[in-house]
Chains A and B, each alone.
Chain A
Amino acid sequence: MAAIGLEHYLTVAALLFCLGVYGLLTKRNLVAILMSIELMLNAVNLNMVAFSRFITPDAFVGQLFAVFTITVAAAEVAVGLALIFSIYRDRATTSTEELDWMKW
């Protein structure tokens, strides 16, 4: 069996990304949607780290990038949960079906 190479990582990342997009488009719960976005961001992280290891093993650009992505994703989730919380207080729901106070 061949060693695990770059293409394996990229395939997994692409699948993960597609999974995230699928969740984003089909989920009706705001928290689940946030989780789907996290999946997409993690696919990116996987890409970055794999490229860093296989393409530029001497520089840590990709890993650095991944660290930034993780941080930013955390911030995004924090703000996102706060906003969802505020929505929940207004309408006691976290479903996107209820986000209809304005024309979508």
Chain B
Amino acid sequence: MDLSLLTTEIVTVALACFVVALDLLMPAGEPRRALGYLTLLGLAGIFVHAFTQYGLNASLYGGMFRVDDYAVFFKQVFLAAYMLTILFSVRTADGFAPYTGEFYGLMLFSLAGMMVMASANDLVTLFVGMELMTITFFVLVGFNLGDGKSSEAGVKYLILGAASTAVLLYGMSLIYGYTGTVVLPEIAARLSASPAALVGIVFFLAGFAFKIAAVPFGMWVPDVYEGAPVPITALLAMASKAASFAVLTRVFLTAFADAPYNWPLIIAWLAAASMIAGNLAAILQTNVKRLLAYSSIAQAGYLLTGLVAAGPDGVKGIIFYTALYVFASAGAFAVVAAVRDETGSDDIAAYRGLARSSPLLAAAMTVALLSMAGIPPLAGFVGKLYLFLAVLEKGWFWLALLGFVMSMVSVYYYLLVVKAMYLGEPAGAPTADGCAALRWAALASLALTVLCGVYPTPLAALASRVAQNFFQ
């Protein structure tokens, strides 16, 4: 057994322990920003190392843990999400003293959980990775001690998360009972039509629809996003969603691919409901975090269309879109963090005049939001093009049409934020400009979003290669 395949996970966990230990060793009064930068550096190292894992396609623990291109790609997406998040959260993390070290440590543990999820090739590994991620997020969502909203969000997330886990597990137990195995490829070989398999698949899908925040299982999203600290909201939106999509796609395309049920139709309904409900509900919001929460429900709908297509093109769309959703969200949440840190508010009103006090942040926010809406030449347009091309190819005409129309409807509420930033006069006191690290995160998000939109070829080529993973 080649443990070097586990380098990314092992180093992440080691880094987490190291950060927590270092935090204990540092004198109480000293600033903790170094911990953040250290974490960032460590993650950058892991990110670079992950490039060497492409093309390995190896298994560990009797096929329970796969290090294939697909897993490596998603690990890099998570790493990118965490690096960008840490960049813009150093100042927020200062506010968590004396628990700054724990904050970074827990973040890293949740990252390790996601990595396990990306590689999981059987239900047990999958479950353990997912719970590592979820339980750390329960803690992190409630991390704003003394802020009632934060702990309220934590409890809500915990109750609904644990309940969805129970549903998911029940589904898993039925699938296991019916097929007698938990390894995904073996499930695929033994699955046939039966009530147990059907209930199992439906429960599994319901459990994961919760994680990816698809309607009607995503009603936790607005409250949790609003109450959680901004960096955690960002991670829930990008990394947690990406990890859940990684699992969902792998399970449905390996274990359930040939199941004798028309599951793409069910997923198409979920996708349609998410796109409609998410976008329409977002229009009514006045709080930017809640707005982004509903928009993330809609984004889950777009991503699900890639799963409906159930083929290399669809997977490629999911992969590509996940990556650029991370880029765009990082920019948007960086700006939310800046405004939150300096005005203490997430209301759209707090964004008035941002374009004057900080043109960079306003530009980053605009580009991020318009990319989510799918306006060319930003990355979101190309991403949606890949996703909807894939479903159109399979004849899902109405779904693609709905997707495009709802994307354009979403421009309405994104533009409300843009309007406040450019048109409104600053409410009074100094408005947000963010610290240097935060501005770097915003700049990186802006550059990546524009770059992937104007010249998508490199990322698309990588995505195509990775998407072949399940279809050889």
Question: Are A and B in contact, CB atoms below 8 Å, in the complex?
Answer: yes
Partner of B128, one of A30, A34, A72, A83: A72
Complex alpha-carbon distance, A40 and B167, angstroms: 8
B146-157 CB mask vs A (1 if < 8 Å, else 0) is 001101111110
Which residues of chain B are within 8 angstroms of A43 by Cβ–Cβ distance?
Answer: 166, 170
Q: Which of B138, B155, B170, B181 contacts A61 (CB 8 A)?
A: B181
**Can you list, as one digit per residue, whether each of B91-134 has a CB less than 8 Å from chain A (1) or not (0)?**
00000000000000000000000000000000110011001000
A11 within 8 A of B: no
Q: A69-B169, A102-B153 are in contact. Are A62 and B176 (CB under 8 A)?
A: yes
B239 within 8 A of A: no
Q: Judge whether A37 and B124 touch: CB under 8 Å.
A: no
Assess whether B152 is in contact with A40, with CB atoms less than 8 Å apart: no
Does chain A have a CB within 8 A of B436? no
Contact indicator per residue, chain B 134-147, by CB within 8 Å of chain A (1) or not (0): 01001100100100
Residues of chain A within 8 A of B275, CB atoms compared: none
A101 and B170 within 8 A (CB): no
Q: Tell whether, in the assembled complex, residue B180 and residue A41 are in contact, meaning their CB atoms are under 8 Å apart.
A: no
Contact between chains at B124 and A65 (CB < 8 Å): yes
Given A75-B135, A101-B152: A40 in contact with B166 (beta carbons within 8 A):
yes
Contacts A47-B173, A55-B180 given; does A101 touch B148 at CB 8 Å:
yes
State which of B124, B159, B176 has its C-beta within 8 Å of the C-beta of A51: B176
Give chain A residues whose Cβ lies under 8 Å from the Cβ of B223. Answer: 102-104
What is the interface residue range for chain B against chain A?
A: 35 or more
Say yes or no: A68 contacts B151, CB within 8 Å: no
**Cβ contact within 8 Å between B158 and A102:** no
Q: Which residues of A contact B177 (CB under 8 A)?
A: 10, 47, 50-51, 55, 62
Q: Which residues of A contact B182 (CB under 8 A)?
A: 61, 65
A72 touches B131 (CB 8 A): yes
Known: A34-B162, A65-B124, A69-B169. 8 other contacts (CB 8 A): A30-B155, A40-B163, A41-B169, A47-B170, A65-B172, A99-B152, A101-B149, A102-B223
Q: Which residues of A contact B (CB under 8 A)?
A: 10, 17, 20, 24, 30, 33-34, 37, 40-41, 43-44, 47-48, 50-51, 55-56, 61-62, 64-65, 68-69, 72, 75-76, 79-80, 82-84, 86-87, 90-91, 99, 101-104
